Chain A
Amino acid sequence: MKDTIQVYKEIDGLFCTIYVDGVLDYATMDSFIEEIKSIERGTEKVIINFEALEFIDSTGIGAIINLVHEAKDKRFSIELEAVRQEINDVLGTIGVFEILETLQKEES
Chain B
Amino acid sequence: MFKRELSYLNNENNEVVKKTLEREIKVAQKIQMKLLNGPNPEVENGEISGVSIPARLIGGDYYDFYMLPNGKLRIVIGDVMGKGIPAAMLMILTRGAFRSASESTQGPGETLTAMNQAIYSDLRILGSFVTVLCADWDPNKATLTYASAGHNLPLIVCSEVEINEAPKIKGVMLGGLPNTSYQDNTLSLNDEDLVFFYTDGITEAQNPDGEMYKIDRLREALLDNYYAEVQEIEDSIVNAIDEFTESLDQKDDITMVLLKVKNGDTKVASYTSPVINS
A95–B152 Cα gap in the complex (Å)? 11
Q: Decide if B240 is an interface residue (CB 8 Å cutoff).
A: no
CA distance A69 to B151 in the complex (A): 21
Within 8 A of A (CB), among B77-135: 79-83, 124, 127-129, 131
CB closest residue in chain B, given A29: B82
Q: Which of A40-83 contact B (CB under 8 A)?
A: 55, 57-59, 61-62, 65-66, 69
Residues of A within 8 A of B152 (CB): 93
- Knowing A65-B129, A102-B177, say if A59 contacts B210 (CB, 8 Å): no
Q: Does B75 contact A (CB under 8 A)?
A: no
Q: Are B129 and A62 in contact (CB under 8 A)?
A: yes
Partner of A99, one of B176, B200, B206: B176
Cβ of B176 and Cβ of A58 under 8 Å apart?
no
Q: In angstroms, how far is the closest chain A Cβ from the Cβ of B79?
A: 7
Q: How many residues of B contact A (CB 8 A)?
A: 27
A8 at the interface (CB under 8 A from B): no
| A98-B170 CB under 8 A given contacts A58-B81, A61-B81, A65-B176 | yes
Q: How many residues of A contact B (CB 8 A)?
A: 20
Contact B172 A62 (CB under 8 A): no
Distance between B25 CB and nearest chain A CB, rounded to angstroms: 18
B211 at the interface (CB under 8 A from A): yes
Query: A3-B210, A94-B150, A98-B170 in contact; A59/B81 too (CB < 8 A)?
Result: yes
SS class of chain B's interface: helix, strand, loop or mixed? loop
List chain B residues, Cβ under 8 A from A2. 210
Residues of A within 8 A of B149 (CB): 95
> Complex formed: what's the CA distance from A59 to B81 in Å?
6
Q: Closest B residue to A97 by CB, please name it.
A: B172
The answer to whether residues A95 and B82 also contact, given A57-B204, A62-B128 and a CB cut-off of 8 A, is no
A95:B173 contact, CB within 8 angstroms: yes
Q: How far is the CB of B167 from chain A (nearest CB, A)?
A: 13
CB B230 to nearest CB in A, in angstroms, measures 25
Q: Which 4 A-B pairs have the closest CB atoms?
A: A95-B172, A1-B210, A94-B150, A58-B81
Supply 13 further A-B pairs (C-beta < 8 A) apart from A65-B176, A95-B150, A103-B177: A1-B212, A2-B210, A55-B204, A57-B204, A94-B131, A94-B172, A94-B173, A94-B176, A95-B172, A95-B176, A95-B177, A98-B170, A98-B176
